[in-house]
Amino acid sequence: SLGVDAIDAGSGHKGPRFEALCAKLAVKPAEVVFMGDDIHDLPAMRLAGAMACPADAHPHVRAEVDCVLAAPGGRGAFRELADLLTDHITEDQLKL
């Protein structure tokens, strides 16, 4: 288990859905890392504090993100992102 609190993998109107999810979870969008791979993800991604994408993301997405992962989508990109994030967190913070 990666210990992820929420994933919304639906399509369409992602900006408002992202804001609603943040409100529901009582987090600020600036405190969230958003990973997307296509241009329809960009409105929501731009609201997040950090943006990441898999290696095979649309070129416009790759041009805007903070981190292009080495793995393609569906081939370990999410695990790679989780590892990058948790490498900077202590075990106590992870509550392992």
Domain ranges (residues) in the chain:
14-94
Report pLDDT for 12: 65
For residues 64-80, average pLDDT = 87
Contacts of 32 (CB under 8 A, 6+ apart): 18, 22, 48, 49, 50
14-94 in CATH: which number?
Answer: 3.40.50.1000
> Given a cut of 90, is residue 92 above it in pLDDT?
no
Using CA of residue 9, residue 28, residue 45, residue 80, what is the dihedral sign?
Answer: negative
Report pLDDT for 61: 95
Prediction pTM value? 0.75
